[in-house]
Structure 1
């Protein structure tokens, strides 16, 4: 797997990954009817270092790294990850996570914190726990799941 900085030239492929995840409305806070422009502007915003994961020349995943807080909280990185539906279960998420940890350290971060992991996203929660994250907080009913209704959200953390 090859990891590269994402560019606007990757927009079509990024949207192919992002759109079905956002439309499902089960794992990210964005409205399911969010526009391509809104989502690509968010994912590729200058406040983030955004990457693509390529296998055999095809983009199968993407993630970003950004300071979780400004100034005195900027040593902790926040991140978001998405894997193409057709690539699920192939270890793409795990590979992106492993690379993102070393890349975050290279960028000067000392820890990683996820502020909003939906508790029903058991695949993500399980992966993060296997990779050393701890649930350090739980916000009751903070996410309006389209099928489950009000759903808890976890704050997860690990040192890098």
Structure 2
């Protein structure tokens, strides 16, 4: 994936972020969001996150991620994140670039690990990517996700230790 620029999100990006988030949410097979995807959601969950990074190319938003603590207080040393890649740009390595950048930002921010609370079992591309980057499946939640074609499917809790060398 050449020619893209990664940069921190700004308030002026909210419209493009909302459009991308809505388009992926409507697909219905990776994100749990439905009608609650609005400007307030972008402000609170994305722009209000510890970190929010966008991938642009020629003025077009290709993908984005957000990260922050998975839990407050005594659980705040473990990060969580959400990644979104526009449909037209999937399968080109952008997801890997976003995850690598996120893991580096999370390490620099002092988090000790990263946990994904719900990776849909049918999202094979994401599962393959996360495993290749050291994430382990540490739990299964049966029927956790209402998939539009497959009905209720499992979701996985995935984890990577950021303090372990290698």
* Pairwise CA distance, 1:143: 1.0
**Counterpart for residue 85 of structure 1:** 87
6-15 or 94-103: which moved more? 6-15
Query: Structure 1, unaligned stretches of length 5 or more?
Result: none
Correspondences of 1:47-58 after superposition (within 5 Å): 47-58=49-60
**Counterpart for residue 156 of structure 1:** 158
SS at match of 1:100: helix
Does residue 21 of structure 2 align to residue 18 of structure 1?
Answer: yes
Separation in structure 2 between the aligned mates of residue 64 and residue 108 of structure 1, nearest angstrom: 16
| Aligned partner of 1:122 among 121, 124, 141 | 124
| Aligned partner of 1:61 among 40, 60, 63 | 63
Taking structure 2 as the reference length, the TM-score comes to 0.88
SS at match of 1:44: helix
- Please say if residues 7 and 44 of structure 1, whose CA atoms lie closer than 8 Å, have aligned partners that are also in contact: no
Runs of 4+ in 1 over 4 A off after TM superposition: none
Separation in structure 1 between the aligned mates of residue 117 and residue 7 of structure 2, nearest angstrom: 25
C-alpha RMSD of the superposition: 1.6
Q: How many residues align structurally?
A: 159
